Amino acid sequence: MIVAVANLKGGTGKTTTAVYLAHFLSAVVVDADPQGSAVGWVEAAAEVGGILGVEVVHLPDSKLASRLPKVERLVIDCSPRDHRITDAAIEAADLVVIPTGTTSADMDRTWATLDLAKQLGTPAAVLLVKVRVGTRSLAAAAEALAEEHATVLEARIPQREALAVAWGQPLTSDPYGYDLAAQQIKELLHA
Ligand SMILES: Nc1ncnc2c1ncn2[C@@H]1O[C@H](COP(=O)(O)OP(=O)(O)OP(=O)(O)O)[C@@H](O)[C@H]1O
Ligand SMILES: [Mg+2]
């Protein structure tokens, strides 16, 4: 199973999502972002004296398909900028998970990412993150995605201060809904 976590917009929650999903999928993270945020997370966690609990390898490479670790489950953390690497990751994946906030600015790049996955022939599922229950932007995003018949994971990841400061720390015991998201991904992929 290869899951690419991608969004053409920066800062949407890709790295956070890749690490948490890998934890709940028992997958290895392939950090395909030249900025190396996922690798840096592991290193920073080790420095504070903890372990992240997820294995991460750095592979910011447009030819990554032939160089992926030979393990059963991989989650690829994509760059928002390096399109050649992101295209390669999406092409190598069985599923693209697109974490997105719910505002119009967030959704604009989400549509573009859905189009990219379609062009490259890989199924995609949107994961709503940084969700604030009861907001107009959440209702509008959910309605627009339904109108477009986009696949949307039922799990919704809330806006949480603990996730805002999660980078560089060992994972906390709260799954924040990523356990459910992982379960739904397994069901989508019959894995
Ligand atoms: N559910 C959440 N609630 C609150 N803050 C969050 C949540 N998810 C992610 N964040 C925060 O949002 C910021 C961006 O997250 P992250 O680094 O995962 O995004 P990214 O898409 O990987 O960014 P980039 O495009 O730079 O690679 C980080 O500060 C992260 O801690
Ligand atoms: Mg990132």
C-alpha to C-alpha distance for 55 and 168, rounded to whole angstroms: 14
Domain count for the chain, please give it: 1
Residue-wise pLDDT tens digits, 33-54: 999 999 999 999 999 888 899 9
**Boundaries of domain holding 140:** 2-188
What integer pLDDT is reported at residue 19 of this predicted model? Answer: 98
The helix (H) or strand (E) run that includes residue 182 is helix 178-188
Asked if residue 157 has its Cβ within 6 Å of ligand 1, the reply is yes
pLDDT in tens, the chain (191 residues): 999 999 999 999 999 999 999 999 999 999 999 999 999 999 999 998 888 999 999 999 999 999 999 999 999 999 999 999 999 999 999 999 999 999 999 999 999 999 999 999 999 999 999 999 999 999 999 999 999 999 999 999 999 999 999 999 999 899 999 999 999 999 999 98
Distance of CA 162 from the midpoint of ligand 1 (Å)? 11
Nearest CA to ligand 1 atom 31: 164
Looking at 13-153, list the stretches that DSSP marks H as alpha helix, in order from N- to C-terminal side: 14-25, 37-47, 83-92, 104-119, 136-147
Tokens of 91: 């092409």
The answer to whether 137 touches 104, Cβ cutoff 8 Å, is: yes
Domain with 67 in it: what CATH number?
A: 3.40.50.300
C-alpha to C-alpha distance for 172 and 161, rounded to whole angstroms: 12
